[in-house]
A and B are shown apart, each in its own frame.
Chain A
Amino acid sequence: MGEKASRQVVVLACSGIGKTWGALARETALELVERVRPGVATTACLPLLVINDPDARCLVMEHPVITLDGCPKACARKSVEALGKKVDHPVESIQFYTAHRELKPEGVAQLNAAGLKLAQVAANELAAIVDRLAAGGQT
């Protein structure tokens, strides 16, 4: 049994509550963690990194990390980089809409049906990245 095969991948989403893209990032992360790759993809509260919580810091430092940001300010990616860790696969949620323009997300508190569908599609597409990182590869 290889250690690499059981490695968890940390998926960190933007915490923004002001934009649809933040809501899409969050929903995509939860799709990965709960539906697409449960047990392999895991998440943590991004604000824990802001206060330098030791458990969250340890999780991020010891596992491959995918960040899902909702805007170019890239809070999720920068929060990881502030710890001195390079993000393995940084993503901006808008890129999924660019690739699937038929699914236009709307809403901030709750995504509309198209937004929820786009999050499913995005998580499905990220599954291969999760698998590669879990197996010890690079993206």
Chain B
Amino acid sequence: MGTPVAKIGLVPCSGEALPAGTVCRLACRRVLDTLMSGQTVAICLPLFIAGGEEERGFAARHPTITVDGCEKRCAAKATELFSGKPVRALLIPDILAQRGIPMPTRLRGFGAEEEAAVQAVAETIAQAVEGVVAQAQAQENQHGAV
């Protein structure tokens, strides 16, 4: 029997040294606060090694979506290493390239110039969450029908 999907864990890289890390941070907050506020929780990536049993346990029991700002894919790798394979692993450069949106060039002080990038990533994360929830519900219905 599958575990009902109460929450999806969002694991952002939030990389401090890259503009994509700031995009990641702002987009994930938008999903958590506005777009999918009831269905998502943030998982603090460094807590995986800083003794965050709660984070590791949550990520092991619930579906996780990782959001990475660069090809090093810290969020996806760390989640898999410490908890379990994420159900979706998103990469910000890919998302922006697919939509023809340039990567922001500054680390902070985002404004109108960077809004398209943040919104595009937030929408993609929200779509991924919807997909995971729909898939889980379909599985639940299947089990219920047997």
Contact = CB atoms under 8 A, between A and B. Distances in A.
B126 to A, nearest CB: 16
A45 B50 contact: no
A50 B74 contact: yes
Interface in A32-47: 34, 43-47
Contacts of B18: 45
A15 interface: yes
A87 interface: no
A49 B49 CA distance: 9
A61 interface: no
Contacts of A45: 13, 15-18, 21, 69, 74
A137 interface: no
Contacts of B21: 45
Interface string B7-19: 0000011111110
Interface stretch (B24-32, B87-95, B127-135): B24-32
A15 B26 CA distance: 12
Contacts of B45: 15, 46-47, 50
A76 interface: yes
Contact of B72 (A12, A13, A46, A48): A48
A26 B15 CA distance: 10
Nearest to B70: A45
A27 B52 CA distance: 24
B78 A47 contact: yes
B81 interface: yes
A33 B89 CA distance: 30
Contacts of B46: 14-16, 46-47, 49-50, 75-76, 78-79
Interface of A: 12-18, 26-27, 29-30, 34, 43-51, 53, 73-76, 78-79, 82, 108-110
Interface of B: 12-18, 21, 25-26, 28-30, 32-33, 42, 44-52, 69, 72, 74-75, 77-78, 81, 107-108, 110
27 contacts: A12-B16, A15-B44, A16-B14, A16-B44, A17-B25, A17-B42, A26-B16, A27-B108, A34-B107, A45-B15, A45-B69, A46-B16, A46-B45, A46-B46, A47-B75, A49-B46, A50-B48, A50-B74, A51-B81, A53-B72, A53-B74, A73-B51, A74-B50, A75-B52, A78-B50, A79-B49, A109-B25
Minimum-distance CB pairs A-B, first 3: A45-B15, A75-B46, A47-B74
